[in-house]
Amino acid sequence: MYKSFSMELAGRTLTVDIDRVAKQANGAAFMHYGDTTVLSTATASEKPRDGIDFFPLSVEYEEKLYAAGKIPGGFNKREGKASENAILTSRVIDRPMRPLFPKDYRNDVTLNNMVMSVDPQCAPEITAMLGSAIAVAVSDIPFDGPCAMTQMGIVDGEFVVNPTTEQKNVSTLALTVASTREKVIMIEAGAKEISDEVMIEAIYKAHEVNQTIIAFIDRIVAECGKPKHSYTSCAIPEELFAAIKEIVPPEQMEEAVFTDVKQVREENIRVIKEKLAEAFAENEEWLALIDEAVYQYQKKTVRKMILKDHKRPDGRAITQIRPLAAEVDIIPRVHGSAMFTRGQTQICTVTTLAPLSEAQRLDGLDTTEVSKRYMHHYNFPSYSVGETKVSRGPGRREIGHGALAERALIPVLPSEEEFPYAIRTVSETFESNGSTSQASVCASTMSLMAAGVPIKKPVAGISCGLVTGETDDDYIVLTDIQGLEDFFGDMDFKVAGTRDGITAIQMDIKIHGLTRQIVEEAIRRTHEARLFIMDGVMKDAIAAPRPSVNAYAPKIIQIQIDPAKIGEVVGQRGKTINAIIEQTGVKIDITDDGAVSICGTDAEAMAKAQKLIEIIVTDFEEGMVLEGKVVSIKDFGAFLEFAPGKEAMVHISKIAKERINRVEDVLTLGDVVRAVCLGKDKMGRISFSIKDVK
C-alpha cells in the first residue's frame, strides 16, 4: 500500500506518492504538482566503481513529448537526444545535490526524472528538482539532506513563487534557489537588470519557501525513509599523507603551487609526483593513490595560505583582478568579432547576423515559443587547457556555459522591430584558467557592438570564489578566481550584468551552503568588478555599437503590407515570390501579419525587390505610371508585366500616337516600356496607355 503526502505550494497542490511505482529503485517519488506529473527515482550501485577519484553521479531529466500532447518529429517518431532545456535542468538538479553526498563515496548514483504530464501552471522543472531531492531523501543512499528548490519571479513589481508559464513570460526575474535547513546551496538566475538589493531579497524569499518544503520532506522521510546504507570509504589514508609530508614538506609544496603561470605549477607538481612514485615504488597500494593524495595536499596548502595568510597562488590581493586586455575585429570578413583576455583566460567571440527566418526552432516542453532568435554557443577545446582529447561535440558544461552567457545578454538586445535579425554568437575558448563563461560575456558584448547590433548597454561578467574555515565567520571571498582557486575552493559565484543591474547569476558550491553574509559580499564584489572591467578595457576597445552592420553582414529592409495581399505576393505555389527572388538574388520572409523582410548584401537588388513587392500589393489607380516588360502580344494589344504576377493590357490604340495596324510594328517581346494607368474602361477593366505617358 503506497502513502500519499500533500502540501500547498504557491497556491497549487503538491502531492508525493511513495511506494506506488518504481519500487525496485533505492528511492522513488511519484510527483504531482497541479496536473504536472514527474516520476523521480534514485538508484545506487552496490559497490564503488574502481579506479576513479570522483563521485560518479548522473542526473537525467527526460522530456516525454506525450506529456504535452505532442508526437516527436523525424522519421523515428520517438524521443532522441536530450533538448537544451533538459540538459540545463539536469545541471540545476546536479549542482546543489552533489555536495550533499559523502566526499569519499564512489558508488554510481543515478537520479532520473521522467516528465509524464505538463500543466502550464506548474513547471515540470521545479517538480523534478523536488522529486530528486525527495527520492534521495527517502532512499538508503547516504545523503546529508534534505534540500529543496524554489523558483522566484517578479511580476508588476511583486515577487511570485513558482511562476506559471504566463507569468514567466512577463517576469523581470527568473530565479531558482536551492537550500538546506540552514543555508543557500545553489542560485541560478536570469534578470532584466535587477538591483543587487532586490536580487538578495528575492534569494532569501525563496530560501524561506524552501524551509516549508523541507519540513514537508521531513514528514515524508519520518514515515517512509529507509536507513542509510554503509559504504566503502575511498578517503586517502592519513598514514599516506604523513609519509608524503616527510618527503615533500609543506613549505616545498607552497613553493610549487604559488606561481601565476599555470604551466610552471603543473611542471612543479609533475616533479613532486615523480619523486613520490620513486619513494613508494615498493608500495603498489600507495602508488595508485599518489595523484589523488597530491591533489588533496595541494588543496590543503592553497586553502591554508589563502585563509590564514591572505596569500593567493599568483600573488594577487584578495580583491585584485588579473591583467585585462580587449580588442575587436580580430577576424576578417565575419560580421563581428572580439577577444577578451583575463590572465590566462582568453575568449574570442564571433557574431553572425541572418534573417529572422534562420532563428532556431524549438521542440520541447519548456516553452510556448516556436523559435529562438538569439543563440549563444560556447566551445571549450582541449588545447585551451593544454590537453589532448578528441572533440565529440559540446558537452553539458559547454551547453550550460553557453546558456548562461545567452541569459546574461538577452536583456540588452534590441527588439525584432528595432533590429530584424536572428543573431548567433559563438565563444571560442583559446585559453582557460578560470571563469571562461564570464569572459565570454565580455567578449560577446564587444563582438555584438562590433557587428553593429544596437545593444542597450554593455554587459560584463566576473566570478568570485570562497575559502572557508571551521566556523561560519571564518572565510575569505576571492575576486576573479583562477582555475586553481576554483578547484580547491568552496564556491564559484558568477554574476553578469550592466552598470545598472544584474542580468544573470550562476552559483556552484562544494560545501553545505552559504550564509547571507557571504552571498551579499559576493554580489557586492562582482558589482565592483563588473564596473572595473567595463571601464578598464571594454570601453577602450569599443565604447558603443557601430552605427550600421558590418559590410559583410546581410542588410534587411522591412516593409508592411496588407495581410490580405500576402497571397498575391506569394503567388500560386510560391511562383510569384520565387520569381522576385530569382530576379534579385535576395531572401524574402513574410509573416502572417504582413511584415515583409527583404534580406541581401546588394542594396540595389534589395531596392528592386522592395519596388516589385510594392507594385504587387498596390491597386492600379488613374495617373499611376509604371515600367513594365512586354510578355505577350495579341492582335488587339500587348500585355505588360510590371512585377511577377502583376500584369495589365495596353490596347493597340494606346500603344503609339499614330495609328498602327500591327502591335509587332512597335513592340517586341521583352521590351521594357513605361505606361500610365487610365483607370477603368466602359467594361470596368483597368486600362493602360503607352502613348499618353508624359
Other CB atoms within 10 Å distance of the CB of residue 531: 14
Domain co-membership, 70 together with 147: yes
Residue 576 DSSP SS3:
helix
| 3's grid cell | 502513502
366-408 residue pLDDT tens: 545 568 899 999 999 999 988 888 888 889 999 999 999 999 9
Mean pLDDT of 114-127: 95
Per-residue pLDDT at 368? 55
Domain co-membership, 329 together with 187: no
Q: Give 666 or 370, the one with higher predicted confidence.
A: 666
Name beta bridge partners: 647: 641
Mean pLDDT of 104-128: 96
Domain co-membership, 655 together with 603: no
Domain co-membership, 17 together with 112: yes
Categorize the per-residue pLDDT at 227 as very low, low, confident or very high, splitting at 50, 70 and 90: very high
CATH code (residue 407): 3.30.230.70
Q: Look at strands 422-431 and 374-379 and give their pairing.
A: parallel
> Is the residue at 550 inside a domain?
no
Q: How far, CA to CA in Å, does 471 sit from each of 362, 418, 476? A: 47, 53, 12
Q: How far, CA to CA in Å, does 297 sit from each of 32, 291, 313? A: 47, 10, 14
> Is the residue at 547 inside a domain?
no
> Of the segments 123-132, 286-295, 470-479, which one has the largest average pLDDT value?
123-132
Q: Are 313 and 265 in contact (CB under 8 A)?
A: yes
Mean pLDDT of 417-426: 94
* pLDDT of residue 292 exceeding 70: yes
Q: Which residue, among 475, 484, 462, has the nearest Cα to 320 in the 3D structure?
A: 462
In 416-546 the beta strands, taken as DSSP E runs, fall at 422-431, 460-468, 475-479, 491-497, 502-509
Instruction: Specify the number of domains making up the chain.
Output: 5
Categorize the per-residue pLDDT at 682 as very low, low, confident or very high, splitting at 50, 70 and 90: confident
* pLDDT of residue 436 exceeding 80: yes
Per-residue pLDDT at 23? 96
Name beta bridge partners: 94: none
Q: Please tell me the distance from the alpha carbon of residue 186 to that of residue 184, in angstroms, as a whole number.
A: 6
| 432's grid cell | 582557460
> Is the residue at 549 inside a domain?
no
Per-residue pLDDT at 390? 84
Q: Which residue type occupies 433?
A: N
Q: Are 423 and 374 in contact (CB under 8 A)?
A: yes
Mean pLDDT of 610-630: 91
Q: How far, CA to CA in Å, does 336 sit from each of 310, 356, 411, 437, 552? A: 41, 18, 20, 19, 9
Per-residue pLDDT at 366? 53
Domain co-membership, 287 together with 328: no
Q: Please tell me the distance from the alpha carbon of residue 380 to that of residue 395, in angstroms, as a whole number.
A: 9
461-515 residue pLDDT tens: 999 999 999 888 899 999 999 988 898 999 999 999 999 999 999 998 999 899 9
Other CB atoms within 10 Å distance of the CB of residue 399: 18
CATH code (residue 258): 1.10.10
DSSP assignment of 630-690, as one string?
EEEEETTEEEEEEETTEEEEEEGGGT-SS--S-GGGT--TT-EEEEEEEEE-TTS-EEEES
Mean pLDDT of 283-304: 88
- The secondary element (H helix, E strand) that includes residue 188 is strand 184-194
Q: Last residue of some domain: 541, 563, 586?
A: 541
Domain co-membership, 495 together with 346: yes
Q: Which residue type occupies 569?
A: V
* pLDDT of residue 536 exceeding 60: yes
Q: Please tell me the distance from the alpha carbon of residue 536 to that of residue 484, in angstroms, as a whole number.
A: 25
Domain co-membership, 204 together with 289: no
| 251's grid cell | 613549505
476-489 residue pLDDT tens: 999 999 988 898 99
Domain co-membership, 113 together with 136: yes
Mean pLDDT of 409-418: 95
DSSP state of 670: T
- The secondary element (H helix, E strand) that includes residue 377 is strand 374-379
Q: Please tell me the distance from the alpha carbon of residue 370 to that of residue 391, in angstroms, as a whole number.
A: 30
> Is the residue at 419 inside a domain?
yes
> Of the segments 72-86, 304-318, 680-694, which one has the largest average pLDDT value?
304-318
DSSP state of 568: H
Least confident of 55-69, 196-210, 564-578, 672-686: 672-686
Q: Please tell me the distance from the alpha carbon of residue 188 to that of residue 195, in angstroms, as a whole number.
A: 16
> Is the residue at 315 inside a domain?
no
State the residue for C-alpha cell 493590357: 649
> Is the residue at 424 inside a domain?
yes
Q: Please tell me the distance from the alpha carbon of residue 454 to that of residue 547, in angstroms, as a whole number.
A: 8
Categorize the per-residue pLDDT at 188 as very low, low, confident or very high, splitting at 50, 70 and 90: very high
Name beta bridge partners: 508: 492
| Percent with pLDDT over 90 in the chain | 72
Domain that holds residue 98: 3-224
Find the angle CA(557)-CA(561)-CA(563) to the nearest 5 degrees: 135
Other CB atoms within 10 Å distance of the CB of residue 120: 14
State the residue for C-alpha cell 531523501: 137
Per-residue pLDDT at 369? 56
Categorize the per-residue pLDDT at 284 as very low, low, confident or very high, splitting at 50, 70 and 90: confident
Name beta bridge partners: 516: none
Per-residue pLDDT at 463? 96
Mean pLDDT score of the chain: 93
Q: Are 604 and 584 in contact (CB under 8 A)?
A: no
Per-residue pLDDT at 570? 93
> Is the residue at 233 inside a domain?
no
> Is the residue at 587 inside a domain?
yes
Q: Please tell me the distance from the alpha carbon of residue 322 to that of residue 657, in angstroms, as a whole number.
A: 83
Domain co-membership, 87 together with 182: yes
* pLDDT of residue 99 exceeding 80: yes
pTM: 0.88
Domain co-membership, 574 together with 638: no
CATH code (residue 576): 3.30.1370.10
Domain co-membership, 526 together with 581: no
In 19-80 the beta strands, taken as DSSP E runs, fall at 27-33, 36-48, 57-63
Q: Last residue of some domain: 224, 256, 281?
A: 224
| Percent with pLDDT over 70 in the chain | 99
**Plot region of 670 (φ>0 → left; ψ -120 to 50 → alpha; else → beta):** left
Domain co-membership, 475 together with 355: yes
CATH code (residue 665): 2.40.50.140
DSSP state of 119: B
| 307's grid cell | 585563509
Per-residue pLDDT at 364? 67
Residue 211 DSSP SS3:
helix
Q: Give 138 or 485, the one with higher predicted confidence.
A: 138
Residue 433 DSSP SS3:
coil
Sheet holding 57-63, edge to edge: 3-9, 12-18, 27-33, 36-48, 107-117, 57-63
Q: Are 549 and 451 in contact (CB under 8 A)?
A: yes
Per-residue pLDDT at 361? 82
334-371 residue pLDDT tens: 999 999 999 999 999 999 999 988 888 876 675 455 68
Q: How far, CA to CA in Å, does 25 sit from each of 80, 224, 241, 444, 685? A: 24, 14, 38, 45, 79
Find the angle CA(311)-CA(317)-CA(320) to the nearest 5 degrees: 140
Backbone dihedral angles phi then psi of residue 283, each to the nearest 5 degrees: -115, 95
